[in-house]
Amino acid sequence: MKDVFARLASDFLSAIIFLAIYLITDSIILATSVAIAAAIAQVIYARLKGQALNYMTYASLALVVVLGAITLLTHDPRFMLAKPSIAHFAIGLIMLKRGWMLRYMPPIVAETVPEYVTAAGYAWAALMFVIGAGMIAVAATGDLKLWAFYITVVAGGAKILAFAVQYVVLRLIVTSRRRAAARA
């Protein structure tokens, strides 16, 4: 689980850096330039450490560089703010793969209720699409404080709530099925 959160933080590091620097300095140019440099440095650091980088890492870097360049040319932060929503859409598409979530489940859950785990995987995909659409809508306003609230409280809170609901529901269903099997 710690690895998942580390990966998410890594994926959104450039957006976090952009927002922090922009809110501190009110400079789109500085915030965007540092975010682009940080994204490039992140990839270089990972390569130097010998970490395997997948296509999502390079896609994320490309998004930061392209959207950052557009932000620098237009002086409009909304392009940088759109990057996390594009990442959410990409993750949502990946989550549409049937059974993707099974490998993340404890064996007892994967063996007892695989159909519910598959349904939960689709629910996560839908959540990613909704969060991504919401991010675009909020980014379009250009209100950085609203965007920061959305990305941290709303999007983060929705994921935490979804995880908690999934945990409780799957636990109840597994327990119910195991009791029923023990009685039979």
Question: DSSP letters along 55-66, please?
Answer: HHHHHHHHHHHH
Residue type, 14: S
Question: Domain containing 33: what range?
Answer: 2-183
Token pair of 183, please? 């009685």
* Largest Cα–Cα separation, the chain: 69
Domain count of the fold of the chain: 1
Tokens of 125: 């995909």
Query: pLDDT digit of tens for each residue in the chain (184 aa)?
Result: 455 556 666 667 787 888 889 889 988 899 899 999 999 998 999 889 888 877 777 888 888 899 999 999 998 888 888 888 988 998 899 899 999 898 889 999 999 999 999 999 999 999 999 999 999 999 888 888 898 889 888 998 999 999 999 999 999 999 999 999 899 8
pLDDT number for residue 5: 57
Predicted local confidence at residue 1, as pLDDT: 47
Give the single-character DSSP code of 101. G
Residue of 46, 40, 38, 34 whose CA lies nearest to 7: 46
Question: pTM for this one?
Answer: 0.75
